Amino acid sequence: MLHRASTRRLAVLTLVAVLLTGCSQLKSSSTPGAVEKPSIRVAILTTVDLAPLWLAQEGGYFKAEGLEVQADVGTSGQETLSRMTSGQDDIALSTYTLFFLAKSSGAADVKLVTDGTSASPRSNEVVTVPNSPVKTVRDLEGKRIAISSKNAASDVLTRSVMRDHGVDPGKVQWVPMPLSEMSGALAQGRIDAAYQPEPFLTQAARTAGAYPVIDAASGSTQNFPLTGYGATAKWVQDHPKTLRAFQRAMLNATRAAVDRARIEPLVVRNAKVDQDVASLMVMPAFGSSLDARRIQRVPDLLQQLGVVQTKIDASSMIAPQTGTG
């Protein structure tokens, strides 16, 4: 009896060991360690739009998907786009306007990988300072307005909101410059107004006394899609597992980003703003999944403004999407 009991106990333990080994093998085979490229470079801008990506890095969401993500900081959406299309970086955060322009012009076969941000009220404004001749939106005509780069969201949204108020964008002197330099240029009188997203918007208010002339995301650009992540069509085709891993990590991080207490420390640490600015600034609307109907607003506006001459189908540019499964 004792021998039989020992035999049965040994058989049970052996079975448990086999089951555990099988589960372990199943888990390891389903983990994202099989991604084609476990270490990727993402071209970014130092803006609050990056909060979910920073959270994905520091919160372990990328690591859980078998990815190591290295951020490559650029000064404009055009620069990050160029780094991605040249192959220097794998994925780029840029404004949707620039992605569609690259596709329209034939400069790059771009695929949209995951959503970034949409404009929330008072998160993107055209601002001025007390000693500027600009007091209202109608005063913008004929003045010097700073934008991050031509045809970027800063340019397109400002032109759209001016058009909504009967102001001719063709009579403006557009001054491209890094977002971080705009408040100083305003204070020194080198420009009359500037497009400012957060956290630069709150910083400019504190350092230069800047105040809003008009909400750039109002009227026809209310809740407008601003930024997203893109890659070349070839990269997407060659790295389907890496793509899905990146998308899952960003989806989970974006869901966690609804907790502002998790976002503010990241903004302080990575966007180099102080805690007061981080606590005061207006957050954009973070997203991850790409909806073709919503994104279609971008190329439609570009066509209305005459930036592109033919209609662009947004759905044709969206890479295969994945959920958490």
| pLDDT tens digit sequence for 175-190 | 999 888 999 999 999 9
Specify the CATH number for the domain of residue 188: 3.40.190.10
Confidence of residue 323 (pLDDT cuts 50, 70, 90): low
Task: With respect to residue 12, please indicate whether it lies within any of the assigned structural domains.
Answer: no
Asked if 251 and 129 sit in the same domain, the reply is no
Name the amino acid, one letter, at 239: H
Q: How many CA atoms lie within 13 A of 161 on its CB side?
A: 24
- Residue 324, pLDDT > 50, answer no
Could you tell me the residue range of the domain that residue 277 belongs to?
Answer: 37-119+222-315
Strand partners, 227: 95, 117
Average pLDDT rounded to a whole number, residues 70-90: 92
Average pLDDT of the residues of the chain = 87
Is residue 318 over pLDDT 60?
yes
Helix axes 153-164, 297-304, angle to 10 degrees: 60
Q: Which amino acid is at 193?
A: A
- pTM equals 0.81
Q: What is the pLDDT of residues 208-237, one digit of tens each?
A: 999 999 999 888 899 999 999 999 999 999
pLDDT score recorded for residue 241: 96
Same domain, 127 and 96: no
Number of domains in the chain: 2
Percent of the chain with pLDDT over 70: 89
Structure confidence by residue, pLDDT tens digits, 270-316? 877 888 888 888 888 998 889 999 999 999 999 999 999 999 999 99
Q: Which of 219, 240, 274 is the last residue of a domain?
A: 219
Q: Are residues 260 and 310 in the same domain?
A: yes
Q: List the single range of 156-170, 242-256, 270-284 with lowest mean pLDDT.
A: 270-284
Task: Average the pLDDT over each of 138-142, 200-204, 278-282 and give the range with the smallest value.
Answer: 278-282
Higher pLDDT, 121 or 14: 121
User: Which stretches within the chain are classed as H helix?
Assistant: 2-30, 51-58, 61-64, 77-85, 96-105, 153-164, 182-187, 200-208, 233-238, 240-256, 260-270, 275-280, 292-295, 297-304
